[in-house]
Amino acid sequence: MVRREKSNYVIQSVSHSLDVMEQFRQGGDEIGVTELSKRLKLHKNNVFRLLATLEARGYIEQNKATENYRLGLKCLQLGQAYVHQIGFLHQAQSTLEMLAHETRESAFVALRRGQEVVPLDFVESKSPVRVASFLGDILPLHCTAPGKVYLAFDSEEELKNGLPDKLARYTDKTIVDLPLLLKQIQEIGQEGYAVDLGEFIEDVQFVAVPVRDHTRGLVGSLSVAGPAHRLTREKMEKDIIPLILKGGNELSKRLGYHE
């Protein structure tokens, strides 16, 4: 199959919308439709429609007194999320390296994206047989340790509305019975860690703990993953869980969390 250049997939209307937003990056000046039309060499009607779309989503707002436009609150929220994410990953690096060294298994941090979790930083084990990086892959919530950590912080109503009636099965060990999963999630909240015993990937086991910040809210999950023949339940309880709990607590404290 011939790969096409990514530039071939660019959607012109989306590109124009981003062009509009980038005109505001110089500072706090408001800009009118006519000025934007001149800068972007687009018809005023097209610019107005782009602004209306961005305004409806909160990325642009209009000053009713001048009828000019400025960046909206949603831009600030995205910027704060980006800064927070970068800070979290920077602080997590030493913890990941420590866990990979001490456990001799792979370690990673992941963030939630809707009903999935995405690994954003990954340190592989140096063992010849190891769990290789799946950086950027999408992991389900209900059958992975980092996903279950997030579910343990959901309210009862969020769990009820967020989890599907039929849970997807990935291996013969995947928990697809909702009441049983809810019971396990409750136990995770009490114990402070989650495990995945080959529920998502056959013969791969995970342990995960929450990472919190100064707001006491969950900002990420910290995980260790290894082949099942080496990362046995006995080894988890004796070696891995104490180390990852310690690592999660130390990382949370660096982010400002206090019990």
Q: Walk across the sheet containing 204-212 and list its strands.
A: 139-140, 116-123, 106-113, 218-227, 204-212, 194-197
pLDDT at res. 115? 84
Reported residue count of the chain is: 259
In Å, what is the CA distance from 107 to each residue of 66, 86, 131, 136? Answer: 53, 18, 9, 14
Is 11-71 in CATH node 3.40.718.10? no
Q: Among 209, 239, 213, 217, which Cα is nearest to 96's?
A: 209
pLDDT at res. 177? 93
Measure the CA–CA gap between 157 and 81, rounded to whole angstroms. 25
pTM: 0.69
Q: Among 203, 199, 112, 103, which Cα is nearest to 152's?
A: 112
Q: What is the largest CA-CA distance in the chain?
A: 69
Domain coordinates of the chain in residue numbers? Answer: 11-71, 80-254
Q: How far apart are the first and last CA of the chain?
A: 54
pLDDT at res. 41? 93
Inter-residue contact 109 to 121 (CB < 8 Å) = yes
- Given CA atoms 82, 135, 210, 116 in this order, what sign does their dihedral have? positive
pLDDT at res. 1? 45
123: which strand partners? 107
Q: What is the token pair recorded at 223?
A: 């995980």
Measure the CA–CA gap between 106 and 109, rounded to whole angstroms. 11
CB atoms within 10 A of CB 111: 22
Inter-residue contact 71 to 100 (CB < 8 Å) = no
Q: Among 128, 159, 122, 125, which Cα is nearest to 142's?
A: 159
CA atoms within 13 A on the CB side of 175: 19
pLDDT at res. 74? 87
The ranges of the chain with pLDDT < 50 are 1-2
Strands 106-113, 60-62: parallel, antiparallel or unpaired by DSSP?
Answer: unpaired
Q: What is the token pair recorded at 135?
A: 């950086």
H-assigned helices in 24-172: 33-40, 44-56, 73-103, 145-152, 156-162
What is the dotted CATH code of the domain comprising 80-254?
A: 3.30.450.40
Residue at token pair 């006491």: 216
Measure the CA–CA gap between 57 and 78, rounded to whole angstroms. 13
